[in-house]
Amino acid sequence: MLSIGKLLTEEQGRLTVRRVLSVDDGTAKVETTYESAGSFGDVHYTDLGTLWSYIRPDGTLFGEWKGGLRTDGNDTAVYRGITGGTYIETTKHSRTYRGALTFENARGALTELNSVLAIFEMEIDDTGKLNYRTWKLEDRSPERICGESVANERER
C-alpha cells in the first residue's frame, strides 16, 4: 500500500513564458515555462521547469512535466513527470496541476532525491504567480514494513 510521505520541496515563483505549440484535432497544446525558488529541507535552490498540457474539450488539462534544480552551492537534479489539471472556477486563468514525478541525476545536497517517486501540486493564479510542493510517495505495505524491520535488526 502506498501513502503520501514527507514534504520534499516547497517553491514559489512565476510563469515566464506561455505559448501554443499546436491546435491539432481541435485541441490546444500549450507550453508553460516557470522559474521558482524553493527549499529541500534546509537546502535552498532555484527551479527552471516546463510543462506542456493539452486543454481537453471538457476543460481539464493533461500534460508532461520536466525541469531542473540548482542549489546555491551548484548541486543539481532533474525531474520529469505527468500531470492532470483543472481551471479554477470564477477565475480567468488560475489552475491547479497535480501529478507524479521522479527525480534523476541528483548530486551533492540533493542526492537523497535520486529515484524518488513524488507526487506534486502546483497552483497558478491569474497573474502567473505559482506555489509548488512535492511529497515523497512511500510504500507502507505490511511486507515492506516488516522487511525493513528485519533488515534493521540484522544490521544491529
**pLDDT recorded at residue 108:** 96
Question: Which pLDDT tens digit goes with each residue over 74-130?
Answer: 999 999 999 999 988 888 889 999 999 999 999 999 999 998 999 999 999 999 999
pTM of the predicted protein model: 0.82
**pLDDT recorded at residue 142:** 64
Boundaries of domain holding 61: 2-155
Give 154's pLDDT tier (boundaries 50, 70, 90).
Answer: very low
User: Phi first, then psi: what are they for 82, rounded to 5°?
Assistant: -125, 155
Q: What is the CATH number of the domain that holds 66?
A: 2.40.160.20
Question: Which pLDDT tens digit goes with each residue over 84-100?
Answer: 999 888 888 899 999 99
Contact 110, 40 (CB under 8 A): yes
Helix, strand, or coil here: 143? helix
Q: What's the mean pLDDT in 10-33?
A: 92
Q: Per the structure block, which three cell numbers stand in for 33?
A: 515555462
**pLDDT recorded at residue 144:** 56
Question: Which pLDDT tens digit goes with each residue over 43-77?
Answer: 999 999 999 999 888 889 999 999 999 999 999 99
Contact 99, 119 (CB under 8 A): yes
Listed residue (140, 111, 130, 96) closest to 41, CA to CA: 111
Is pLDDT at 149 greater than 80 in this prediction? no
The total domain count for the chain is 1
Whole-number Å distance between alpha carbons of 110 and 125: 29
Q: Per the structure block, which three cell numbers stand in for 35?
A: 522559474
